[in-house]
Structures are given as structure tokens and as C-alpha cells.
Structure 1
């Protein structure tokens, strides 16, 4: 009997190669961890999100209806950590409640603006020619206006409310994302593997959503993070002018507007909402700058 079968080697289990995209994200995360400013920004953002989710259930006073008219414009104390406003409402409770409102405006406005801007940018960059010209000329018209002025115009037409503020800030952010995505799309669509996909008969939608969009996420993430900071400033500015959140909504910009009348005799009324805006904007700017450095292939780990 032949013994040739006795030494047959067992088939080896195929080793799955590492996912290059996963490896790239790990590299970005490692770079981000080494950037102290980005870490500070990320920690602040996490704290703000926790405050927005949990804070309203832990506030010592109702931010809307608990009024102590005998204790108006009281300075910070053990009973009222941030003092009281001109209606005797606890400023600390109102600042905590306003965290969720401010973050909601920032996140949702940029989510809406980025979604529309990404779609228009990819369509313009991928198809080019007349489609590109029409879309980008519209974006140029929108970019001709300062973002806060454009948002102010839109809210003036639509009317003052938080929903209209989100719409206004979203529209003002569309051109920025459209231009960034268009430029990235123009670079990626010239690569050889895109030509190979076309030769294999892949549809335009498959090429766009499966091969182009995943490879241009880096600048989108960076711009989205920085744009949230701008959105918070714009929304607060509109509320400061009385075109955003309406009383008695505890929105930081509206609270800052109420406090401007008491800067001399009760500066704490405007101080703490103003500090809250500064911390939120600073946090997103620090994280955005860190993400920009982390996604840069020229930087070393």
C-alpha cells in the first residue's frame, strides 16, 4: 500500500490581511492622543455632552419657572452658584439647561448643511462641466455673503425661532462643505482605481458612495468639527439679537443679551453664559485643529 497519503499536509487557515482603512484610523487616533490641545478639546466636548444629557435632571431649580423676585440679581452664593438674573431665576440651572440647546443647534445645523453640501460637492466634482458650473456659481453667490450676515437675512425672512436658526446656520454652511468636497472629489476621481472601476462597469452611484466618499472623509470630519464652533457662535449671535431662541428659553446667546443691561451692577448675569459660549467654541476649535494635524499624512506619529 502506498504511503504517499501519510504525509499530506493539512491545509493552512488563510490569514486575513489587515484592513488598511482600520489601520489608518488607528494611526489618526494615535496622533490625536499625542496632541494635548486636541485631548483637552475632546474632554471638554465629552463633558459638555454629559452635561447636556444628565444636567437637566440634576439642576437645583427649574430654569424656566422658579423665580425668586425678592432675590433678583443676587451674586453667586451657596444657594445660587452662578447668582440669579433679573427675574430671580437661577443662572446655573439655566446655563446647564442651555448646554443641550446650544449643542443641538450646533450639531443639527452642521449635519443638515454638511449633508446637502457633500451631495452638491460630489455631484459637481464627479460630473463636472455644466453641472459643476451651475452648482459652484450658486455656491459662489452664497459665499459672497459673510456667514453671520447670510444667517441673519434668512432668519429675518423666516422669523425668529430655534428651528429657523438651525435652517439659517445650515444654509450658510453649505457652500463651505460643497467647495471642500468638490476639490477632494476632483483629486480622487483621477486615480487609476476609479478608472478601473469604470472599466469593470461599476455604476456612478457605486463609484461615488463606495469608492469616492469613503476616501474624502478626512477633510469633511475636520471641517464639520470646526463648523460646529462657528454654528454655536452664529446661533448665539442671532439669539443675542432677539432672532433666535425666544424667552424664556435658556439659550446662552439670549441669556447674554439679557445680561448686557446689567453689566455694571450685576456682571455675573452675562459673565457665565459668555464663558459657556467661549468654552464650547474653544473645545471644538481645539479638537478640529488636532484632527487636521492627525489626518495630515506629513505629520509623524
Structure 2
């Protein structure tokens, strides 16, 4: 009689903890309808910034003085400005400038802020004191005032606005990362890794940085909204992107001269700024709740 062999079921491959953690974060994020709406709007804005200029009926600088200060119509959805330029087309073209300022300035600030925060928190002592006192000096100035001073010194241009916004955003990242680093470096497994002979660079990049990444992401998302507002404010004062670039703050500044005669010239750029900033703030708040360690299972 032939013996029958029973095959044991293959052992399941252990799930990647990083993938599982990401899934759990996304599940929590999906429960926040406002945050999901903000995230969808952000994706829509990015899409508009990338492909929108190819589909609008007019270029950003195309003028028709005979049609100046016309109200919204089927031909010009948002009306025209004082030079007869289509406001809807200019807002779409300006989307890429706005997001470029927001993302790139925050990216620069995050790099320097993370380096300063980790170095100060990990090494402590005089290094911590010197770096944090420098950050305190920067924090003593209102953000818009510090950015205004930087742009005034360097000159009015788009790149200088990005640099100015990055400068006043660095302390926010540095303080958050320093606080998280101080908490993580006191954990027992850090002492165990150090006892096994790991150097400072390995401990920082392999063990501390991944554990402080969540607050960095949240701060970056919220900081983009602040960067967009600050850049718009500088452009409103004539210190940001220079004509004929369709920057929303500059468009808002031009529209204030016609606010009673043709209110739409200032209304639509202002609404664009409000909606984009609101989307980043709502999404950032929801992301902060989703990444809250207290809510992790």
C-alpha cells in the first residue's frame, strides 16, 4: 500500500514592517475626510501646475488693451486685468510658480533644519547651546519681517524669495528635530547599538533619523502653506517675482488699484492663494493626526 505524503503549507513570508506601518497611516488618514479632500486638492494643483499651461486659451503675458477690466464671461472665465490679460490663464500659469516657491523653499529649510537639529540634539553641550541660540535669534524676528530683510539685502527676485522663506523656516525644523532627537537617543536600543560598536554617523542616519521623520513630514506640509503666504506677501510688496511673471501676490497687488472698479482682478488671485494654503493646512493637520504615535496600534 502506497504511503501518502501530506505537504505542509508554505510558511507565510513576514510582512515588511515599513509597508504595514504605511498602510496603517493611510487607513487613519482615510478616516479624516477633510484631510483626504485637502490631499486630493494638492494633487489636483500639482497636475494643473504641470499640464495646465498647455490647455489654457491664452499665454500669461498675452495682452489685449481693448478688452481690459472685463468681468467674468464665457470667453474670459475670470475676466481680464488692466492690460487685457486673461486672469484665468495667468492663475493657471502662476500655479507652477507658487508651488515651486512652496516646495523648494521648504526643501532647503528642511535640509539645513534637520542637520542643525540632529547635531544639536545628539551631541548636546556647547554645540547644542551655540546652534539653538542662533535659532532663537532667528525666531526672535517675525517670519515675514526676516524674509523682508533678506530680500531687501539680496534684491527682489524669485530665487531670493525662495532663499528668504527658507531662512526663516530653518528654526522651526531645527527645534522639532532637536526635541525628537533628544527623546530617541535616550532609548535603550540606541545604547545597545552604541555598545556593539556603531559609530555616530551610523546611529544618526540608521536609527535616529528614521524615527524623527514623521514630525519632519508634518512640519514640511504645514510649512509649505506658510511659505506660499509669505512669498505672496513679498510679491504683493513688489519684492517677489517680477513682471511679467504671473505670481499671485503680484496679481493681487495690481488688482487692489481696481478693487472698486473691477473687483474680480483682485478677487480671483486672492481666492487662489486662500484655497491652496487651506488645502495644505487641512492636509497637514490630518497627516499629523495619522502619524501621532499615540494612535498607532
Q: Which one of the candidate residues 209, 212, 224 is aligned to 1:228?
A: 224
Distance in 2 between residues matched to 1:292 and 1:283, nearest whole Å = 14
Distance in 2 between residues matched to 1:84 and 1:8, nearest whole Å = 81
Matched with 1:168 is: 164
Q: Which one of the candidate residues 255, 263, 275 is aligned to 1:279?
A: 275
1:242 aligns with 2:238: yes
Question: What aligned pairs does 1:141-152 form with structure 2 within 5 A after superposition?
Answer: 141-152=137-148
Q: Which one of the candidate residues 104, 115, 123 is aligned to 1:119?
A: 115
1:53 aligns with 2:50: yes
**1:167 positional shift:** 0.2
Matched with 2:90 is: 94
Q: Which one of the candidate residues 182, 186, 192 is aligned to 1:190?
A: 186
1:298 aligns with 2:294: yes
List gaps (5 residues or longer) in structure 2: none
Q: Which one of the candidate residues 26, 29, 32 is aligned to 2:26?
A: 29
How many matched pairs? Answer: 295
Distance in 2 between residues matched to 1:209 and 1:32, nearest whole Å = 27
In the TM superposition, what whole-angstrom CA distance separates every residue of 1:183-217 from its partner, at most 9, and x where no partner exists?
00000001111111111111111110111101111
In the TM superposition, what whole-angstrom CA distance separates every residue of 1:108-159 from its partner, at most 9, and x where no partner exists?
0000001100000000000010110110000000000111111011001000
List gaps (5 residues or longer) in structure 1: 1-5
Supply the RMSD in Å over aligned alpha carbons: 1.8
Question: What aligned pairs does 1:65-144 form with structure 2 within 5 A after superposition?
Answer: 66-144=62-140
What TM-score does the superposition give when structure 1 sets the normalisation length?
A: 0.94
Distance in 2 between residues matched to 1:10 and 1:96, nearest whole Å = 62
Q: Which one of the candidate residues 35, 39, 42 is aligned to 1:38?
A: 35
**1:22 positional shift:** 2.2
Pick closer, same or farther for the CA change 1:159–1:73 going to 2, 3 Å. Answer: same
Secondary structure of the structure 2 residue equivalent to 1:298 = helix
Distance in 2 between residues matched to 1:204 and 1:11, nearest whole Å = 46
Q: Which one of the candidate residues 192, 206, 216 is aligned to 2:212?
A: 216
Distance in 2 between residues matched to 1:23 and 1:135, nearest whole Å = 37
**1:170 positional shift:** 0.3
**1:60 positional shift:** 0.3
* Segment of structure 1 superposing worse, 20-29 or 170-179: 20-29
1:269 aligns with 2:265: yes
Distance in 2 between residues matched to 1:146 and 1:56, nearest whole Å = 35
What TM-score does the superposition give when structure 2 sets the normalisation length?
A: 0.96
